[in-house]
Amino acid sequence: MSLLPALALIGARAGAPPAHLPQAPLSSFEQALSAQPSATRALAAWCQARFINWPNPPDIAASMVPGPAMPLPANGRRLLGIEPQEPLGFRHVRLACGETVLSEAYNWYVPARLTAEMNRLLETTRTPFGKVAAPLAFTRTPLASRRGPARGCPPGTILANRALLRLPDGRGLALVLECYTRANIEPLNFLPTRTPDIAPPASAP
C-alpha cells in the first residue's frame, strides 16, 4: 500500500516547509503507519512529510531505554511459533527523528531467525529493528490498536499498536508494542529563511 494518500492529507510536498503546519489528523497518522510493514520506514516518511527534522534528513535512530526487560505477553511464544526453551531477544527503544522522539517501542524477537550480522547490529548499534531486518522482507500482522496508551506505554501516548512481524514463510520474527508520541501530529511553525544582507559595491574613487 502506498503512503501517498495518507501523506496527501497532511500536505506533504517537496522543498521548504510552509510558515505554519497545522496539527495532523490522528487518522492520517494511523493510515501512514498501516501502509508499511516497518514502523521505521513509515516514521521516516512521516518525519519527511511533516518536516519534523527539517532541514536535516528524516533519519530514524533508536536509543536504548535502560531497565529490566518487559515480560513477554502470555500468548507471545504461541504467536511467534517457538518452544518454551527458545531464546528470545528484547529491545526497549525510543525512535527519534533528529531530536524528536516519535515512539517508544518494545520488541521481542527470535535471534535464530536473524543473521549473525543482524543480531550484532541489534545488540551494539542504534539501528532500528525495521531497518536491520528489512532484507528479510518481513510482513506485518496487526494484533491490536488503540488511541491513547496501552498497558506498558508511557504517559502522553496518543496511539498504541501491537503487531506480529512474520517472515515470508509465515514464521514469527518479532512481537512488537509501539507507543506513539504527540510529537507526530503537533502543529509546527517555521521561521522564514532570511537572505543575508549584501553590501552594495563600493563606488570607484
Query: Could you tell me the CATH number of the domain that includes residue 8?
Result: 3.40.1410.10
- Residue 134 inside a domain? The answer is yes
Assign 14 a pLDDT band (cuts: 50, 70, 90): low
Preceding amide of 87 cis, omega within 30 = no
- Residue 196 inside a domain? The answer is no
Assign 196 a pLDDT band (cuts: 50, 70, 90): very low
- Residue 36 inside a domain? The answer is yes
Say what the pLDDT of residue 203 is.
55
Higher pLDDT, 1 or 88: 88
pLDDT tens, position by position, 83-127: 999 999 999 999 999 999 999 999 999 999 999 999 999 999 999
- The count of structural domains within the chain is 1
Whether 83 and 76 have beta carbons less than 8 Å apart is answered as no
- Residue 200 inside a domain? The answer is no
Distance CA 119, CA 111 (A): 6
- Residue 141 inside a domain? The answer is yes
Print the domain residue range for 151: 4-189
Residue showing cell 525495521: 130
- Residue 194 inside a domain? The answer is no
Distance CA 87, CA 107 (A): 14
For the ranges 124-133, 146-155, 194-203, the lowest mean pLDDT is seen at 194-203
% of the chain residues with pLDDT over 70 = 86
Partners of 84 in the β-ladder: none
pLDDT tens, position by position, 163-193: 999 999 999 999 999 999 999 999 999 876 5
- Residue 80 inside a domain? The answer is yes
- Residue 110 inside a domain? The answer is yes
Distance CA 6, CA 33 (A): 9
Say what the pLDDT of residue 8 is.
42
3-state secondary structure the chain: CCCHHHHHHCCCCCCCCCCEECCCCHHHHHHHHHCCCCHHHHHHHHHHHCCCCCCCCCCEEEEECCCCCCCCCCCHHHHHCCCCCCCCEEEEEEEEECCEEEEEEEEEECHHHCCHHHHHHHHHCCCCHHHHCHHHCCEEEEEEEEECCCCCCCCCCCEEEEEEEECCCCCEEEEEEEEECHHHCCCEECCCCCCCCCCCCCCCC
pLDDT tens, position by position, 30-69: 999 999 999 999 999 999 999 999 999 999 999 999 999 9
